[in-house]
Structure 1
């Protein structure tokens, strides 16, 4: 299991673009590694189809995508054509690689197995895991969904926007925040001299405790 802040394992694996070394694949970009239970399955097809449609949004943020499944490469290649037709895209332009993890070795080592979902042989399938890895190769965010629940990739993009903003600015993002929305001043920032840190101003929400911890500021540039 990889914890937040850990350097993500630099594994080698076969994929639809050939053998990859994960850290080399990431390079100096952000990366989303996401797994799915099996090829030629309905929920997974909707998920990868949405990722195909959102590829320009991930690229705009400097994010590379790579999927993982326990099926083999020929299966991935055939399934990718179904996915492209499902979202009305050219079949020969699948925009990101899919890793083959037939032995579940990666899935087990990375904590991506769903014990409740099993194949015909009774072996647990890969769950719907999501890992966001930064250019420093460290894990920034992880989410795990069961096989029966499809993921929301618009929410993933929202999280990446927050991660990229808060990595360089002294703010946090509140519930439901989207790009351009108000941010929250970190508790570690003292009130004295705060106008120099946040020249757009800071609004403090008054609460019964009298503590000034709910401090809002426009999104920093």
Structure 2
């Protein structure tokens, strides 16, 4: 049963698996965060080099994410005591305060629900996952990275903005989209809509590909 839990994965478009966990900021449940977007990320272990660089980088984007109504949450299969010691060390040695909660997941319950344990990488450490959960508790995007490679923070911010733009304007975002770029209009659903698409004022490439400003 335990191994089955470790290989379960959340599904895009469905409610993100709920959990209640101890963190460096006290107990937190995912359901209590409805109304906010959540970026939940896992790291393999405290007091490790790549993870430390990532925590410095996540701390640097915390305020920008908070301005987008995003709660940032970290996680590893370490204890609260380990997290607190590492956070203290980062502040003391590198002068950076870690402002977001870090989930302690020694029993791997959250890691199991979210498919963070990949035996091909490690059976005792979470790979580097990022989960984007919207303000209604729905899983909207997931990115998985291996143990050895750190994440690119601008992509995390860009994807949050893309998802929020999709929700607000009911549009899609094209490849390499950045905030302020044109967005993609939904393709027509009928022959009649297809015929009039070229005259609707969009930047027209073909009946199925049109852009507009928002």
Q: Would you identify which runs of 4 or more consecutive aligned residues in structure 1 move more than 4 Å?
A: 193-196
The counterpart of 1:14, out of the listed 15, 19, 22, is 22
Counterpart Cα distance in 2 of 1:19 and 1:81: 19
Counterpart Cα distance in 2 of 1:58 and 1:195: 39
Give CA deviations for 1:20-64 in whole Å, capped at 9, x if unaligned: 22211x131101011011000111111111110111110111101
Give CA deviations for 1:97-135 in whole Å, capped at 9, x if unaligned: 0000112222122101121333xxxx4311101111011
The counterpart of 2:62, out of the listed 55, 69, 72, is 55
Instruction: Tell me if the contact between 2:17 and 2:113 (Cα under 8 Å) persists in the aligned partners.
Output: no
Provide the aligned length of Structure 1 versus Structure 2.
Answer: 202
TM-score by length of 1: 0.84
Specify every segment of 5 or more residues in structure 1 that has no aligned partner in the other structure, as ranges: 206-210
Task: Provide the residue aligned with 1:217 in structure 2.
Answer: 212
Specify every segment of 5 or more residues in structure 2 that has no aligned partner in the other structure, as ranges: 1-8
Task: Provide the residue aligned with 1:185 in structure 2.
Answer: 185
Structure whose residues are more often helix by fraction: 2
Partner of 1:43, secondary structure, is: helix
Counterpart Cα distance in 2 of 1:84 and 1:139: 32
Task: Provide the residue aligned with 2:138 in structure 1.
Answer: 138
1:117 equivalent to 2:124? Answer: no
1:102 equivalent to 2:83? Answer: no
Q: 1:194: Cα distance to partner?
A: 8.4
Q: 1:151: Cα distance to partner?
A: 0.9
More relative contact order in 1 or in 2 (CA 8 Å, sep 6+)? 2
